[in-house]
Amino acid sequence: MLEVTHRAINSLMNVLEKTDWEKTIRLCLLDNDKGIEELSLTLDDFRENDVATTIEGIPFVVDKDLYERAKPFFIDFIPRNPGGGFRLASRLNKEELCLLIKGVPDKEAEFLAVIESCNE
């Protein structure tokens, strides 16, 4: 399950317009500068072991094992001057997920369960 805000969709559309549209947005784990795995976005191709979805014309993929371990996923874009950046959350970083999904209309029971676990 993946929730993407309109701000994130608009920003991703801008990125994809400048690249090869045959690529998809991959949610993956990458090491940060401290050697800690963080949820990241990359441009990539579909692979056999992926879970795929399309939201407002943008294809997203995530490895099936990561999907099962980390769902639900939430993507937002935080504008800054200058620039901005994507804010990613999943079950792997539940505190961040709780901050992002509060106030978002719930579409799936799993989001409700995550929100309830935030209040514990």
* 27-56: pLDDT as tens digits: 998 877 777 778 888 888 899 999 999 999
Q: In degrees rounded to 5, what are phi and psi of residue 98?
A: -65, -40
| Predicted pLDDT at 34 | 75
Note whether 75 and 56 are within 8 A (CB).
no
- Note the pLDDT tens digit of each residue in 57-99: 999 999 999 999 888 898 988 887 777 788 888 887 766 555 5
Task: Give the fold, CATH level 3, of 2-118.
Answer: Hypothetical Protein Aq_1857; Chain: A; (2.60.300)
